[in-house]
Structure formats: C-alpha cells, structure tokens
Chains A and B, each alone.
Chain A
Amino acid sequence: MMKNVAFLSATVAMLILSGCSSKEPAIDATANGNGTSIGTNANANGTSGTDSNAVIAPITNANANDAAGSEASASDSQLASILFDYDKFNIREDMQASMAKNALLVKDKAVKLEGNCDEFGSDEYNYALGLKRANAVKSELVNAGANADSITMVSFGEGNPVCLEKTQECWAKNRRVDFKLP
C-alpha cells in the first residue's frame, strides 16, 4: 500500500512539475551592454593578499561601429532567386527556366551570387552549403557563357532570411541563391 502511494505521488509530481519546469535563469539577463569602460588594473587591498582572481577588470575599452551593413533583400529586380531542397545544392528541374533567364540577363555583367540557407544550423557546414549552392549557380552561368572571373560569391548561412515564419514554405524560400548586380 505504502509503495503504491509513493509511486502514485511520484507520478503525479512528475506530471505537475514537468508542466512547471522552466529554463529561465535565476539571474535576469540585462541585455545590451552599454557600460562605459575604465581600464586600469589596480590591485585589490585584500586581507588575504592579492591574486589574479581578486580583481575583475573591464572586458574592453572598445565599442566599435562598422560602416552600415547592407540592407536585407532578395535578388535584384528581374533576376529570380534560385531555390534549393533541404540539405541539397543541385539545381532543381523547376528552377532551370529561371536559371536560363538569369543567365541571359547577367551574361556580360559582373554579378555577385549570395548563397542562403534555412534556419537549421548556424555552423560552418550550413554556410558551406550556402556556398555550394552559389557555386552550382556559378557553374551553370559559366556553362551558359558567362566569364567566371566576373562572378563573386558569398554565403550568408542562415543570416539573411527573406521569410521569418516557422513554416515549411518559409524555410523553402530561404534556401536560395540571390543574384546581385553591383
């Protein structure tokens, strides 16, 4: 009888507590660090002497701003983005028409191909996948007569989505190569 009570209590507790579990940290994150920096390394006047762990110095004096980054956008107008399947970098049958049209439009121009991925993974492999997509498009352009030296490439990984919803349609739109003319 006692065993049954213990088992039942544990099961009920498990159900209740699993609903209550929280991954919130005990410490409230304060977001954006705008702290000013004073960078000296004075010694602590600790009664137990000083050691490298007794003084906590500022992280940096720097708070640098780069020139403004470019705005998010898909392919330049008239040039269609080429879409890809999950984890793939071969050009799909249904993209061949867009590919041929784009090849004609950029034939004698300098063009930048921007490879992009969906949100599953921010590691180097995902960036490499974006690059291989751009490279597959480059090969098609070169086959169609473009000059390889006039084509540059970059992979933005998952960092340049055109669609931010959590749907299959949205992820499919983000697995793409955009064409940019300088």
Chain B
Amino acid sequence: MKIILFFLTLIQLTWGADATIEVVKGVAGLSPLAIEDASAQSNDMGRKFTKMLAADMNVVSLFTVDESYAMAPLDSLSPSPVHKDAQYLLRYRLSDDGSGGVKADIKLLQNGNELFFKTYLLKQSEMLVFLSHAIAFDINGKMGGSPIDWIKRKVLFIRLTSPRHSEIVASDYTLSYQKVILTGGMYGFAKWGNKEQTDLYYTSLSDFKPTIYKMNLLSGKKEKLISSDGMAVCSDVSEDGQRLLLTLAPNGQPDIYMYDLSSRNKTRITDYSGIDVNGQFMGDGSIAFVSNRLGYPNIFSTRPGSTAVTPLVYQGKNNSSLSSYKNFLVYKARENSATFSGNTFNLHLLSLKSGNIKRLTASGENDYPRFSPDGEAILYIKQDGSRSSIGVIRFGLNKSFAFPLKSGRIQSIDW
C-alpha cells in the first residue's frame, strides 16, 4: 500500500507541472510546512496571502506545502488543529501601516522553535505578491536553499493586445501583479537597463523608423537612443550597464553593433549579407549571436575587432534564439520539420566548458529564453495556441513552473 501511495504522490507531483521535470528528487524527504494567518481578522487579503505564500514555497522546493487556510496567534508555539502534522509553520500578521501600505510580521517555527522573525513594509498593498516573494527569498536563505535572487526580480514583458498594438508591462514572475508602463503604440523587445531595474530599453515600431528608447521608471522620462531602417533592437546590456549589443539594419541587413552609452559611439561587430541577430555578452569577452550564415539559423560567437566567427552549437538545424550567462548558453531549437501545425520548439542548455547539452523542455512552443542575472534560473515564453505563459526553469533542481497570461500574447520578456 505504501508503494502505491508513493507512486501516486510521485506521479501527481511530476504530472501536474511542466514536463521538463525529469525526476522530483527526494520528495519523501521534504518536511511538511503549513501557513497560518495571524492577522487581527480573517479577510480576503489574508486568505489570498496564504495562497501566494504556498505558491512561492512550492517554488522554493524545500517543503511539502499544506495549502489549507487557518488562523493562529503569532506567538503561539503550536499549530492550529488542522495543521497538527506540520513540522514547519510560516505565520504572518498583516496590518495597515497607516499610509496605504501593509506592515507584515513574519515568523517561521520548526516544531515550536522560532527560526526566523522579520517585519516587512509593503508600500502599495496592490503589490502583495512581491511581499510573498521577499519572504520566500528570506526563508530560502535561512534554510540554506539554492540561491533564488530571481524570485524578487521584476519581469518586463511586451504584450501584443491587437494587431499593431502592444504595451510594456512590469510584473512579478508569476504575473499576479501587472503594471502597464507604456501603452498607445507598438513596442517590442523591452529589456532592463540596470541592475536596480529602474531603466529600460525598448523598440518603438510606431515611429517612422524602428527606434530604441531608454526610459527611466522613476521619472517616466523617455530618451531616443538610436534609429535604424528596418530593425532596431537592444539585445543585451553589459553587466555594468554601460554597453549595449544592438541589432541594426541600416542597409536592410540585420547586423550586430556594440553601443557605448558614455561616448554614444556604435561599433559594428558583424558584417554578413544574411541575418545576424540576438547578440549576447559572454563571460570571456566574446559575443554569441544567431546567424543564418550556414543556411539555417544557428548560434555563433565572435570577438569585437575580429572577423573570425565560430559555431557554438553543433546540434539541430534551426537554433534561432539564445541567452547567455558566463559560459552557459540556453537556446531555442526547432525539433521537427513540420512546416505548419505541430511546430515544436524546445530549449536546450549548453555548457561551453564541458560541451554538455541538456534539453530543458519536452513539448510545445517554448520561446525567448532568458537567464536570470544570477544564472540560477531561466525565464521563457510558452505559447499555447493564442495563449502565452511565462515559464521559470530551475535547471539545477530539474523543476519548472508555468504562469499563464490571461489576455494577449507575449512578444518578449526580460528579468
């Protein structure tokens, strides 16, 4: 009977999530955690917050999470009766901070012992999910989990609302909180411009020529950076935020350029009569990019000032999108030759040091992979018919999660 139950649990856990999960390791070894509301009164916000914390704790992947709602006093050392089997208790007390925000007292108990206590201040109650992410980050740190700095990052995406209309949206990684930053035109390829996530770059396609703008979120100010006939995209921003890799096509030929923000000079990196796009800074000073110079899209690398170009990927005949982190690449590959229905695009992780390739997704249209700034996770777009989802892959743990967008289609993402 135990064997049957074990199989049922394992299958449920693996089947419910994205198929990229190969094996859920050590499920039986995770400790049970319950979440309890210690606020003065039970209300919608309190109930919603239990769901948010449960979702985050599942992503943290250190506990088996009991998602049932219950109230308990913050200082009580024992769980509420419905949570009597929980070894860990995560309690929260939400209160009005008196100026439109929320004060949150958070406590983590292990078998009656206090492991963690902290008070948070949320400036806007609408951003409740970010409070949950901040708590998950701290609990994960306290428990010694793999780094999850990405959980607090703001995700930037372009939503196509109708033909020739789109908007730029900032959200959390689950898409629960969404803030429209710019609307009224047609935009593409929004990308964060600095670590603090206060600056962003985007392409306006409503201008006479495609134009890259820089926008500051604190002031709302927009600054025109550069235009090009045909195509203008900010593909990557250097770690210090001072150099950009752009795709420009002044003569109808998309090529990669390096743009220095302080001197405002641009340097041509590639010069090829076909397609060169999607430049990415690599950890060793080289630049990886997508090119069709062998007759099909594939991943290559070059160095500024050099004309030598080296293929980086030797598998697949249609690798058309990439993201880099130091010596790692994640790229999108078309798996089948079906011209129309049944197109399958999967994401692959390549270690340039070992040459090992790991397939990260198993089916469907998986697009636009983006490494988190700490290289611990990959964000991507999953297209399912007219519906887009944002996926997060924690490849170190063989886990992935998908969060659907309610309306519109996602063109690009960044975090």
Contact = CB atoms under 8 A, between A and B. Distances in A.
A95 interface: no
B11 A127 contact: no
A31 B385 CA distance: 19
Q: Please classify the interface of chain B as helix (H, G, I), strand (E, B), loop, or mixed, using the class held by over half of its residues.
A: mixed
B124 A37 contact: yes
B29 interface: no
A78 interface: no
A46 B105 CA distance: 8
Given A13-B8, A72-B164, A160-B164, A129 B275 contact: yes
Contacts of A134: 230, 252
B318 to A, nearest CB: 8
Contacts of B174: 25, 27, 29
A173 interface: no
A25 B247 contact: no
A125 B386 contact: no
Contacts of B52: 26-27
A101 to B, nearest CB: 22
A38 B11 contact: no
Contacts of B197: 59
A146 to B, nearest CB: 14
A77 interface: no
A124 to B, nearest CB: 4
B105 to A, nearest CB: 8
Contacts of A6: 3-4, 7
Given A135-B252, A153-B230, A159-B411, A29 B406 contact: yes
Contact of A127 (B4, B178, B188, B204): B188
A121 B321 contact: yes
B340 A168 contact: yes
Contact of B11 (A10, A53, A68): A10
B149 to A, nearest CB: 10
Interface in B205-231: 205-206, 208-210, 215, 217-220, 222, 229-231
A66 B168 CA distance: 11
Contact of B386 (A56, A60, A166): A166
B350 to A, nearest CB: 17
B277 A125 contact: yes
B235 A10 contact: no
Contacts of A70: 164, 186, 206
A59 B189 contact: no
A37 B218 CA distance: 10
A1 interface: no
A94 to B, nearest CB: 17
A124 B321 contact: yes
A60 B171 CA distance: 11
Interface stretch (B114-122, B259-267, B307-315, B371-379): B114-122
A126 B278 CA distance: 11
Interface size class of B (residues with CB under 8 A): 35 or more
B55 A128 contact: no
Interface string A113-149: 0010001111111111101101100100000000000
Contact of A38 (B123, B131, B233, B412): B123
A37 B222 CA distance: 18
B25 interface: no
B58 interface: yes
A120 B67 contact: no
Contact of B275 (A10, A23, A40, A128): A128
B358 interface: no
Nearest to B171: A33
A44 B119 contact: yes
A56 B219 CA distance: 18
Contacts of A29: 174-176, 178, 403-406
Interface in B351-377: 365, 367-368
Contacts of B292: 125
Interface string B47-69: 00001101100100000000100
Contacts of B206: 66-67, 69-70
B218 A66 contact: no
B42 interface: no
B220 A128 contact: no
B368 to A, nearest CB: 6
Contacts of A63: 179-181, 220
Contacts of B67: 26
Given A44-B119, A153-B252, A25 B164 contact: no
B55 A27 contact: yes
15 contacts: A2-B3, A10-B8, A25-B404, A27-B51, A32-B180, A39-B123, A54-B118, A60-B217, A128-B249, A132-B274, A154-B229, A159-B186, A159-B205, A161-B163, A168-B340
Given A27-B52, A53-B137, 9 more contacts: A9-B8, A13-B8, A45-B103, A57-B123, A122-B368, A129-B275, A134-B252, A135-B230, A138-B252
- The list of the 4 closest CB pairs from A to B, nearest first, reads A62-B220, A33-B179, A72-B163, A46-B119
